[in-house]
Structure 1
Amino acid sequence: MRHTHPLPGDIGLTQISGITGRLIRFGQWINGDGFTDYEHAFLVLPDDQLLEAEPGGARIVPLDTYDGADVRYVCPERLTERQRAAICAAATRYTGVPYSFLDYLAIAAHRFRLPLPGLRRYVASTRHMICSQLVDQCHEDAGVHLFADGRWPGYVTPMALYNLLAD
């Protein structure tokens, strides 16, 4: 679902330039999520704010941080105002959560069914999250389950969000 102005609880998908963006794009392709150019996800909050995972930790910044960027806003169909409020309330608990590029490797290992005992437990226990994991977790905490495909919690890339929610 698309809006002219994003609403609290919506998900923003955008590009990351440079080598980091190319590496994430390649990692998403390896994970089977496609090769479209969305390497970053963030959650829209009330008062024109957003929550995003960054290498220095998850942070809340103004929504206009992405003015001029190519941002695709998506959200689950029929998201109620109560659900939007719960998603945003959950988001405030994740400020400062560390980022981990290793989660992309864990997602790839899971996709290729590599026999790595404890992988699922490791991803859940580190409390590190990439941007798409953070967005998905805020929805989960609010009782909004984005994925019904049996994937492990935390095994979400920005392109997985795009593939699920984009028109």
Structure 2
Amino acid sequence: MICDIPRPGDIGLRPVPGAIGWLIRVGHWLIGDGFGDFGHAFCVLRDGLILEQCLKGARIQPLAKYEPFPGVYVSPAGLSDEQRAAICDVATRYVGTPYSFRYYAGLAARRLHLIFPGSRRPETPAGRMVCSQLVDRIYLDAGVQLFADGRWFGHATPMALWRLLGEDRPARPQARTGLAVG
């Protein structure tokens, strides 16, 4: 379900500008996820904050940092206030989670039907994750399973989140219209 005003517990999806964004789009296409607009995902928290994965680890930041950039906010239909609160509470436990480059090797292995040690478990023992994988893990730990299609845990990209929750609307980012804080 697309949300015009982000609420705590929603998932933010954003394009990544520049050359890095283009590489992410090509990478998504190579793993069979299409050449989509969204290359970054994060969890909306309370009080105008987000938890997002960065190269230096997951951190809490103000949602306003994305004010000039287009994006969308999505959440599963029927998400209760209690589930939203649980998602926000769980998300704060992931501050500092290291970034994972290994994740992409796991996605490529799945696309090419290759099995090697660790390919079914893309997160490392140290708990390294990429942005969309972190969102999937937070929801799962809060008791909300996003994907029920048999995919290996963590094999979620921002475009997979869009396809799951975007209600078949075109994946064109919209300007943010406001923020619901709770």
**Shorter-chain TM-score range:** over 0.9
Instruction: Give me the whole-angstrom Cα distance separating, in 2, the residues matched to 1:119 and 1:73.
Output: 30
1:155 corresponds in structure 2 to: 155
Decide whether the 8 Å contact of 1:27 with 1:108 is kept in 2. Answer: no
Offset of residue 18 of structure 1: 2.0
- Three-state SS of the structure 1 residue aligned to 2:160 is helix
TM-score, normalised with respect to structure 1 = 0.94
Task: Map Cα deviations across residues 17-56 of structure 1 (whole Å, 9 max, x no partner).
Answer: 1222112111111222111110000100000100000001
Instruction: Give me the whole-angstrom Cα distance separating, in 1, the residues matched to 2:39 and 2:27.
Output: 10
Decide whether the 8 Å contact of 2:45 with 2:88 is kept in 1. Answer: yes
Gaps of 5+ in 1: none
Instruction: Give me the whole-angstrom Cα distance separating, in 1, the residues matched to 2:29 and 2:164.
Output: 15
Aligned residues: 167
| Structure 2 counterparts to residues 24-35 of structure 1, below 5 A | 24-35=24-35
Instruction: Give me the whole-angstrom Cα distance separating, in 2, the residues matched to 1:70 and 1:118.
Output: 36
Which deviates more from structure 2 when the two are superposed, residues 97-106 or residues 9-18?
97-106
Change (3 A) 1:122 1:25: closer
Decide whether the 8 Å contact of 1:58 with 1:99 is kept in 2. Answer: yes
Q: What is the letter of the counterpart of residue 76 of structure 1?
A: P
Decide whether the 8 Å contact of 1:33 with 1:163 is kept in 2. Answer: no
Offset of residue 73 of structure 1: 0.6
Which deviates more from structure 2 when the two are superposed, residues 106-115 or residues 116-125?
116-125
Instruction: Give me the whole-angstrom Cα distance separating, in 1, the residues matched to 2:114 and 2:97.
Output: 27
- Three-state SS of the structure 2 residue aligned to 1:119 is coil
Which deviates more from structure 2 when the two are superposed, residues 49-58 or residues 22-31?
22-31
Task: Map Cα deviations across residues 95-146 of structure 1 (whole Å, 9 max, x no partner).
Answer: 0111122211211112221131332246352411100001111100011000
Gaps of 5+ in 2: 168-182
2:140 corresponds in structure 1 to: 140
Which deviates more from structure 2 when the two are superposed, residues 26-35 or residues 40-49?
26-35
More helix by share: 1
Instruction: Give me the whole-angstrom Cα distance separating, in 1, the residues matched to 2:154 and 2:122.
Output: 11
2:111 corresponds in structure 1 to: 111
| Structural RMSD (CA) | 1.3
Offset of residue 70 of structure 1: 0.8
